[in-house]
């Protein structure tokens, strides 16, 4: 009997941990003391059959316990935030309960270990999906509409404000924002990639065109940098910015064609 109790306690503990981590994942919150909250909830669940509590009493006890572990596990300063966490907590329990019910109906298996495995698999799916969702949201918070102008030609596009871009041009002592070849070719349609790679004479017509090391961005190669007439970011116009042509595929990582220098954070 002791072994059964230990297994039930362990299963309940892990199930509660998965539920709390899922809530944190859905709300993009860190949370704390998950192990303590899960242990308390597991002990209460284990004690319920021994206490001979009525169905209604058991419901009230479980409901109250939910509020206790929410208060232990998450920080909130407003009633609205508390209600949001509670709703998410009960929603997650409903989702996991529904997944286990469907599995039981399909395969006729009722076992705590199976329930735990189903919840773990569901959590991993949630984690993959929501990590991508929150990353996309974080990136979008630092994406801006940008317009670059050179010799009367204008190019509009999305730019990502990268706090990790600390590249400076040693010649002009100015910060360097990066553009990909798509943006570059829209500004200089008569210059192709081969011209850039072999440093063709065509580049001489570009104002302050020269090459600098990308060593500061974990790249030992050199990139073409030059001076634009102006760049408009968040409604603010910056005269004579320095741009660098990057052949890195940052579009795949950030979904933009332009990487702004960290200095633009102050605009």
Higher pLDDT among residues 9 and 109, named by residue: 9
User: How many domains in the chain?
Assistant: 2
Mean pLDDT over each residue of the chain, to the nearest integer: 80
User: Do 82 and 176 fall within a single domain?
Assistant: no
Same domain, 117 and 7: yes
Give tens-digit pLDDT for 194-211.
888 888 888 888 999 999
| Higher-confidence position of 202 and 227 | 227
The sign of the torsion formed by the CA atoms of 62, 66, 67, 69 equals positive
Look at residues 140, 160, 186 and tell me which one is the last residue of a structural domain. Answer: 140
Do residues 72 and 200 both lie within one domain?
no
pLDDT digits 0-9 by tens, 17-59 = 888 888 888 887 887 888 888 888 878 777 766 666 677 777 7
pLDDT band at 79 (very low <50, low <70, confident <90, very high): confident
Shared domain for 115 and 151, answered yes or no, is: no
Range of the domain at 247: 143-266
Higher pLDDT, 143 or 11: 143
**Residues 132 and 180 occupy one common structural domain:** no
Same domain, 187 and 149: yes
Q: What is the pLDDT of residue 176?
A: 92
Looking at the fold, whether 189 and 117 belong to one and the same domain comes out as no
Mean pLDDT across the stretch 153-158?
A: 88
């Amino acid at each position: 009997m002791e072994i059964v109790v230990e297994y039930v306690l362990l299963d309940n503990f892990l199930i509660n941990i998965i539920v709390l981590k899922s809530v944190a994942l859905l709300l993009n919150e860190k949370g704390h003391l998950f192990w303590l909250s899960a242990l308390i909830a597991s002990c209460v669940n284990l004690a319920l059959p021994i206490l001979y509590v009525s169905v209604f009493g058991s419901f009230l006890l479980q409901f109250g316990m939910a509020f206790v572990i929410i208060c232990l596990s998450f920080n909130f300063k407003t009633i609205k935030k508390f209600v949001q966490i509670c709703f998410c907590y009960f929603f997650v329990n409903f989702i996991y309960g529904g997944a286990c019910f469907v599995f039981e109906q399909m395969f006729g298996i009722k076992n705590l270990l199976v329930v735990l495995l189903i919840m773990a698999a569901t959590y991993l799916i949630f984690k993959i999906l929501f990590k991508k969702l929150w990353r996309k949201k974080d990136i979008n918070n630092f994406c801006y509409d940008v317009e670059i102008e050179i010799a009367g030609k204008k190019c509009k596009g999305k730019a990502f404000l990268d706090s990790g871009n600390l590249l400076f041009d040693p010649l002009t002592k100015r910060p360097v924002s990066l553009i990909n070849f798509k943006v570059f070719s829209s500004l200089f349609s008569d210059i192709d990639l081969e011209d850039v790679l072999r440093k063709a004479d065509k580049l001489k017509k570009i104002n302050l065109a020269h090459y600098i090391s990308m060593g500061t961005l974990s790249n030992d190669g050199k990139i073409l940098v030059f001076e634009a007439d102006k760049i408009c970011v968040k409604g603010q116009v910056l005269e004579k910015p320095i741009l660098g042509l990057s052949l890195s595929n940052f579009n795949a990582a950030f979904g933009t064609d332009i990487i702004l220098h960290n200095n633009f954070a102050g605009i």
